[in-house]
Structure 1
Amino acid sequence: MFEPPTMTLWQGRADTGESAPVWRWHQRVEAWDRQQPATPGMALVGFACDEGVRRNGGRVGARQGPAAIRRALANLAWHGETRCFDAGDIICSDRGLESAQDELAAHLSGLLHRRLVPVVLGGGHEIAWGSFQGLAGAVAAGAEVAPTIGVINFDAHFDLRNPAPGASSGTPFRQIAHWCERQGCDFHYLVLGINPSANTQALFQFAEANQVRWRTDIDCRAGADVAVYRELEQFVAPLDYLYVTVCLDVFSACYAPGVSAPAAVGIEPAWVIAAVRALKNLCREHAVGWLMADIAELNPCFDSDDRTAKLAARLVHEIVCDVSV
């Protein structure tokens, strides 16, 4: 079910008396209207869904994530150079995960056709199957040759579990792999932050058999940047389009307690922010269209001092805004 944007979430301070711009997010985010003409910019979309996490045996509460991220974003300083719209929420009701994912895909595809780049706010990581379907449907329409889409996932888990008998927050990238197989195209998937103790041998074997690339949480640290960034460039260079997804359980629990599966080790937020900035540069250098991003697994029920929501907001800020100041 689609729910229009709730603009009352966008509240914060208003600064005055400076010679330079003093905008904050709550002053720049506009309500998106389905009837408005195509307008280049960014679009925030919520996916209020617990069902994938519930099916996966996790701690429910992620359906409250989109509103919590918006509240954390509202008072951040605005450094954007493009318009940013709140394009509402897709609500999963009556445990109808599959129909909610289909509705999310259709909504995102429509936004992409209107020249907007969606940033999707979760919700569990089942968000990824809806996001990918929306992107693939939009870029494939009218294309003579199937475009090459790459997926980069910052995550402690592969999320490559078998979707039979039912999909969950642990299955979206296997669903994408199956989609690629049906389409006769390669599965381009890179995971950064894998926790070896949280992924079974079967998942590693499936990843190896399907040419998945990954780096562990220990690899993704200061001092190992050169090797990882070289791998980022090798991954990004041959793509036509890029989709980046961040599962907040990739971070240490001290930074991200509000998730379904808190990490004992995890990776540092500053490292991920540096990687996001590097990806922006690589996409410009290699003419790759970064057309989709999402932030998954925020569970406000377990979030101490809104730490995880604030981290999620900072990541959205890095993706949307030009912060090279």
Structure 2
Amino acid sequence: MNVPVDIPSEPWTGRDDGPGDDTLRWHHTVTPDAGRTPDWDAAFIGFRSDEGVRRNKGRQGAAGGPPALRAALSSMALPAPLHALDAGDIVVGDGDLEAGQHRLGQAVSALLDHRRRRPVVVLGGGHEVAFGTYLGLAGSRELRDGARLGVLNLDAHFDLRDDQRPSSGTPFRQMARAEERLGRRLNYAVLGVSQPSNTQRLFHTADALGVRYLRDTECGLLQLARVDLFLDAFLASCDVVHLSIDLDVLPAATAPGVSAPAAYGVPLEVIEHVCTRIAAGGKLAVCDVAELNPGLDVDHRTARTGARLLHRILTTATHLAHQPS
């Protein structure tokens, strides 16, 4: 399997409590270098990019997200054995975001085609990562064979800007255009939209594109029934899921280390519930995590939160995959 990356993966390290399956942590189960693990339950690839955030006039620093997420996940304890690989990182260091997104797409396609229906996790990076992830999924055999795509974005923002140059504010508009060129309509849903953070033009764009969304004020703990109905309708509409998690969907107290901290946000309990439901649905193909900015984080709080969400997603998906059919 040839996965093109700019920085090869390195061994993960972390706390060690001795031998045995009952002392496993993530760093025990992740194999660096995609070519060494023919059969895996999950794969990681990083996207070190700040260019989209810079173009969107945000606070830069998200290029440091991938190593921070790996470090936060590394020592988390596993409830059961699994096998994972780390393919390394794509780097956008020359300002050429578009080329970086296409390189990421090629890498994601290679991983998806190697292990069908095993989740690929892309560690961002600004939210421009989502379009690169999409390119990988769109180029995979499963979508070429006609599977219905569904994109679920956990985000305070629609990211549907109609700008000339791609940025962290445009990835889902780019997806909509790409799907239109293929004769399809993008099946896009957003959970956690903040009204003060999105202009009326963006709401009108979302309506014109048929985007389904829940505002952050509709996603509290007392509104889980509404959230579940939203998720049920989304899962019923697709065969393959692209889950995109922008950590600024969470309250600033939970996720301070992002470009645009949320004054309100969706509680972590709800976001984790959503991630678990999606992973348990058996349709998750790719998941990207965006906007972690380690230089703005407090006590690694945001990195640990992002890592916990990935932990829940991957342990749930792996448990499902290992069940007898």
The answer for the alignment partner of 2:316 in structure 1 is 322
Gap runs ≥5 in structure 2: 320-325
The answer for the alignment partner of 2:248 in structure 1 is 249
The answer for the alignment partner of 1:195 in structure 2 is 194
**Structure 2: distance between partners of 1:33 and 1:93:** 23
Give the percent of matched residue pairs that are identical in Structure 1 and Structure 2.
42
Spell out, residue by residue over 1:139-160, the C-alpha distance to the aligned partner (whole angstroms, 9 max, x if none).
Answer: 35652xx321000000000000
- The alpha-carbon distance between structure 1 residues 17 and 107, as it changes in their structure 2 partners (threshold 3 A), is closer
**Structure 2: distance between partners of 1:230 and 1:268:** 18
**Structure 1: distance between partners of 2:61 and 2:248:** 14
- Greater displacement, 20-29 / 201-210: 20-29
**Structure 2: distance between partners of 1:180 and 1:142:** 12
**Structure 2: distance between partners of 1:91 and 1:189:** 27
With normalisation by structure 1, the TM-score equals 0.92
1:298 pairs with 2:302: no
The answer for the alignment partner of 1:2 in structure 2 is 6
**Structure 1: distance between partners of 2:237 and 2:195:** 28
1:312 pairs with 2:313: no
1:37 is displaced (CA, Å) by 6.8
SS at match of 2:217: coil
- 1:195-214 correspondence to structure 2 within 5 Å: 195-214=194-213
The answer to whether the 8 Å contact 1:80/1:322 transfers is: no
Spell out, residue by residue over 1:161-206, the C-alpha distance to the aligned partner (whole angstroms, 9 max, x if none).
Answer: 0131x00000000000111111111211110000000000110001
**Structure 2: distance between partners of 1:37 and 1:64:** 26
The answer for the alignment partner of 1:136 in structure 2 is 138
The answer for the alignment partner of 2:323 in structure 1 is none
Aligned residues: 312
The answer for the alignment partner of 1:112 in structure 2 is 112
The answer for the alignment partner of 2:273 in structure 1 is 274
1:316 is displaced (CA, Å) by 1.0
Spell out, residue by residue over 1:86-129, the C-alpha distance to the aligned partner (whole angstroms, 9 max, x if none).
Answer: 11000012111000000000000001111052101110000000
**Structure 1: distance between partners of 2:178 and 2:24:** 42
Give the partner amino acid of 2:311.
H
**Structure 1: distance between partners of 2:311 and 2:37:** 25
**Structure 1: distance between partners of 2:312 and 2:173:** 28
Spell out, residue by residue over 1:219-246, the C-alpha distance to the aligned partner (whole angstroms, 9 max, x if none).
Answer: 1111111112111111111311001010
SS at match of 1:224: helix
Give the partner amino acid of 2:97.
L
**Structure 2: distance between partners of 1:43 and 1:92:** 21
**Structure 2: distance between partners of 1:163 and 1:45:** 27
- The alpha-carbon distance between structure 1 residues 259 and 141, as it changes in their structure 2 partners (threshold 3 A), is closer
Gap runs ≥5 in structure 1: none
The answer to whether the 8 Å contact 1:163/1:174 transfers is: no
**Structure 1: distance between partners of 2:316 and 2:112:** 21
Spell out, residue by residue over 1:281-320, the C-alpha distance to the aligned partner (whole angstroms, 9 max, x if none).
Answer: 3x24xxxx31000110000010011100110110110111
The answer to whether the 8 Å contact 2:105/2:134 transfers is: yes
SS at match of 1:102: helix
The answer for the alignment partner of 1:170 in structure 2 is 169
1:130 is displaced (CA, Å) by 0.3
With normalisation by structure 2, the TM-score equals 0.92
**Structure 1: distance between partners of 2:79 and 2:163:** 40
Which of 113, 122, 134 is equivalent to 2:124?
122
SS at match of 2:231: helix
